[in-house]
Structure formats: C-alpha cells, structure tokens
Amino acid sequence: MTAKKPAVKAAKPMLNLPRFRKVGPRYVVTNDHGAYAFLDEDQLQTLVTGRVKPGTAMFDELAAKGFLVSDTNLDDVAADYDRKVAFLHRGPVLHIMVVTLRCNEVCKYCHASRANMKETETDMSIPTAEKVVEMAMRSPSDTLTIEFQGGEPLANWDTVKHVVEYGSTLAKQRGKRVMFSLVSNLSLMDDEKLAYLIEHRVQISTSLDGPKDLHDKNRYLAKSSAYDKTVEWMARINQAYVDAGLDPRLYHVEALATITREHLGRAKDLVDEYVKQGCRAVFLRPLNPFGFAKNTEGMVGYMGDDFLKFYDEALNYILELNRQGVEILERLAAIFLTKILTPDDPNYLDIRSPCGAGIGQIAYNYDGSIFTCDEGRMVYQMGDEVFKIGTVNTMTLRDVVTHDTVKSIAMASTLDSIPGCATCAYKPYCGTCPVYNYTEQGNIFPQNATNQRCVIYMGVQDRLFARLMGEDEQVKDIFRRWVEVKDRPEYMHDGRRMQQGF
C-alpha cells in the first residue's frame, strides 16, 4: 500500500500594491501596470486586509486584473508592466529643431522667447542642421519624429527643406522611419511652400486659440489679423490634402489651444471654433510658465481650479457634441484614457514616468546647443542654463542620454519615488514636469501640496473616472472611440520600405 501524498496547498495570492482614491460613491483602485477596479468601502477593506475569498466574483476580477498575484498569473502581470513602460527601451523618439528664433507674430504667452524678423543670426545653419539630423538618426528607436519649431520655422525655409531631404536620405540609409512635423502660425505660408510640404508629406500643426477676438487678443500680427491668416491657411491646407487623395479624417491640420485667463468662461466658443474649422481634436493645454508667459503670468495665468472649471464646461460640451454625431475629441482626456483603457502607454513625453527629457525627446536650439526638452530651452532663453546639456558640435547621443542633468530629471519625474505621487491612485497614468516644478516651485521635484499641475492632472483624471464609473454607456463608447489608434502612414518617410525599393 502506498502512502497517500499530502495535498499540495495552493500558495495564497499576494496583494499587488493597490493605490486608491475615492471618486463619488466608490473607490478607484489601481495597480502599477495601470489596471483599475471600482470597489465600495467594504470591498476595499476586504482587499487590503487580504480576505478576498477564492471562488468569488471579486476574487476572479481582482486576479484577472493583477491585484492578486500568484504563480498562475505572475508572468502575465510582469508582461503587462513591461508593455506599459515599453517607451523606456526606445530612446529619444522626438527631436525638436528650433530652426530660428525669428517670428512675425507676438503672442502674450510666447513660450519660445522670439526674436524679431531682422535677427537672422538666430537662424539654424545647414551644417548645424545636418549634425542634428545625424544625432537624431543614432537613436535606438526605429521610428523618429523631427519637429520644426521656432520662432516661426517658415522664416528659415531653406533649412526646413534641407532637413526634410537630408533626413529622408539618412532614414533610407539606416532603415528608419521618420516623420517630419512643422509647428507654424501659418502666416508665412505660400503656395510654393504648401506644395512642397504636401509633396514631402510633412505634417502641419498650428495654434488656434479660439474665435477671432480671443485668438487675436493672444496673438498679434502687424497689419493683419493673426486669426484670419491661420484659418485661411488651415482651410487651404486641408483642401490640399483632399486634392492629394488623402483621407481628410486622418490628414488635416492639427491645431492646439493654449488656455489663458481670457478663455475662462469661453469654453463653448473655443470648441465651436474648432468644429467650425473642421478640426477633429482640441487639445486643452494648460499654460506653461516659460518664456514670455513667465513675465505676463499675472495677465494670462490662473490657478488649477480655474482651469478645471473651464475644463468641465469644455468636456461636457464636447461630449454633448459627440452624442449629436459630431466627431471631436479632447486630447488631454484621450492621453489619460489611452493609459487607463488600453494596455499601452501613448508615450506622450510630458505625462509619463519618468518624463521624456533627454531620454524620450531632445531639443536643439538654432546654434546647435542641446536641451533636455523644448521647455528646458525656453528657460535658457530666460537666462538660466540649468537644462542645457551641451552642443551637437562636441557631443554624441550617448553623452546626451547619460548626462547628469538628464539623470537628475529622470529621477525627479519618476513618480514611484515622489512623496504624494508614490501613493496616488493616478500614479500609473500620470507625470510631473521638472521644468515646470523648477520654474514654479524652485525645485525640479514637485511639491505636490501646492503644485497646480498636480491639481489639474488629478482633477482631469477624477472627471474621467467618474464617467467610467457612471451609468452612461454612450459616454464610455465615446471614450473608447477616443483611444482608437489611427495610423497615418503617408506621413512616414519609411527607410525600411525605401530600402526594399517601394
């Protein structure tokens, strides 16, 4: 007779550190890889005291979402986390080239600290531009974006064109995919430039701050209306995409608004303007206190709660329009929702942990000097070199990525080690900006009790989770539409395809 083997007792599942926050009647409970559950107070107590009974619906849900970890799901939880932070393996994907500081518009909040149109010494030369492109191409990422910024990049058109052609050639040689993106006020656009940009598939973005009175109050153009120029060219560019046989739902001018005090109380006007101009997205971007905006903050700035009041009006109205069949999304919400509802992080460099400074994006000033990000360059234009890394003339990409300043910013934006963030339910979806923190609070680490960016991010996520928790299925469907990934392959200069002779 063989002795009966003792039954192997299944190991008790471990609790995978949950973070929680009360939103309305229930708690939003999240874990590191971004899964969430809605629990009432008793359920939360049951979870955190380790009393969830196997075989119950609650156990099954929390195990499936990785709140309870055992041998059976440990590998899945690790894979989910790895996928969520996949951006860490890609290196700098966004390369911002300030091809000139010159600009023909004067904006109240100008982040770029512009130079006037005569100051041609602030144009990036072609040899410097080539060095920037060569550094960008050394990134380990297969896919890169080169973004033309200024000043007004169309003021240094020869360099823009050269970068598109040189970058496309290098992408072909190195088997990379590169997208070129132009951020312009559009007032220096003409037919020849437009034809070139369409032919070379350069993505075009602009600023639209609302209807004419709001836009022109924020953005001054001598002898003309900045608004008239912008909307005229938006329409012509959108028509050019159609004429080139491109799907207007995917290929159109992207616009973004910088929300100043003038916008408060005018959310509906702003959204209506975006719909009127055929935009499919509006990005309600809080004001950054950099560049001229620091000096004019008293005129244009506001507190986080003021922004949230505005945001409520805008989001409610945008959702109402969507219910009526108008397709327009709010991009700040879409960034958070992608993190909340999908297994991937959208790699928006200002809202991730650690942030993208130096390891996800690099900014190059007109003279080849290198900064952690464009915001770090704006601080330099205000007279403070703290975010300057060096120059393309002497540095390699490795020197940049491993620079002490880059390491410090990565530490200061890794939420797991920041008081307040480390225990916040929104840690898996959030980010902090060391340049903002430095400018506003005198320290690259955030002081969250008074950090207005934290107020805004927490408030926006509260509003999104309240709706996800609610009964309105139509809103949830709208949110799911907002996180659908829409590829725009025509913008890609695809070195891999070009090498194969396509």
What residues make contact with ligand SF4 under the rule CB under 6 A?
A: 349-350, 355-357, 361, 372-373, 375-376, 409, 413, 415, 420-421, 424, 426-427, 430, 432-436, 448, 454, 457-458
- Cβ of residue 319: shortest distance to ligand SF4, in angstroms? 22
- Cβ of residue 479: shortest distance to ligand SF4, in angstroms? 19
Cα–Cα distance for residue pair 206/194, rounded to 1 Å: 14
Kindly tell me the burial class for residue 223, based on how many C-beta atoms sit within 10 Å of its own C-beta (0-12, 13-18, 19 or more): exposed
- Cβ of residue 416: shortest distance to ligand SF4, in angstroms? 10
Q: How many other CB atoms are there within 10 angstroms of residue 496's CB atom?
A: 16
Inter-CA distances, 95 with 54, 302, 331, Å: 50, 30, 21
- Cβ of residue 305: shortest distance to ligand SF4, in angstroms? 14
Beta strand extents in 267-379 (DSSP E only): 281-282, 284-286, 329-330, 361-364, 369-371
- Cβ of residue 360: shortest distance to ligand SF4, in angstroms? 7
Q: Which is nearer to ligand SF4, 84 or 252 (CB)?
A: 84
Q: Which is nearer to ligand SF4, 392 or 418 (CB)?
A: 418
Cα–Cα distance for residue pair 364/95, rounded to 1 Å: 8
The terminus-to-terminus CA distance of the chain in angstroms comes to: 74
Q: Which is nearer to ligand SF4, 253 or 335 (CB)?
A: 335
Q: Which is nearer to ligand SF4, 291 or 434 (CB)?
A: 434
Q: Which is nearer to ligand SF4, 370 or 433 (CB)?
A: 433
- Cβ of residue 325: shortest distance to ligand SF4, in angstroms? 33
User: Which amino acid makes up residue 231?
Assistant: V
Cα–Cα distance for residue pair 370/393, rounded to 1 Å: 10
Residue pair 55/13 in contact by the 8 Å Cβ criterion: no
Angle at 490 between CA 486 and CA 496, to 5 degrees: 105
- Cβ of residue 448: shortest distance to ligand SF4, in angstroms? 5
- Cβ of residue 322: shortest distance to ligand SF4, in angstroms? 26
Instruction: Report cis status (omega within 30 of 0) of the bond before 354.
Output: yes
Q: Which is nearer to ligand SF4, 64 or 86 (CB)?
A: 86
Q: Which is nearer to ligand SF4, 271 or 357 (CB)?
A: 357
Q: Which is nearer to ligand SF4, 279 or 363 (CB)?
A: 363
Residue pair 142/177 in contact by the 8 Å Cβ criterion: yes
Q: How many other CB atoms are there within 10 angstroms of residue 196's CB atom?
A: 14
H-helix or E-strand spanning residue 178? strand 177-183
**What phi and psi, each to the nearest 5 degrees, are found at residue 145?**
-120, 130
Q: Which is nearer to ligand SF4, 28 or 300 (CB)?
A: 28
- Cβ of residue 427: shortest distance to ligand SF4, in angstroms? 5
Axis crossing angle, helix 473-482 with helix 304-323, rounded to the nearest 10? 100
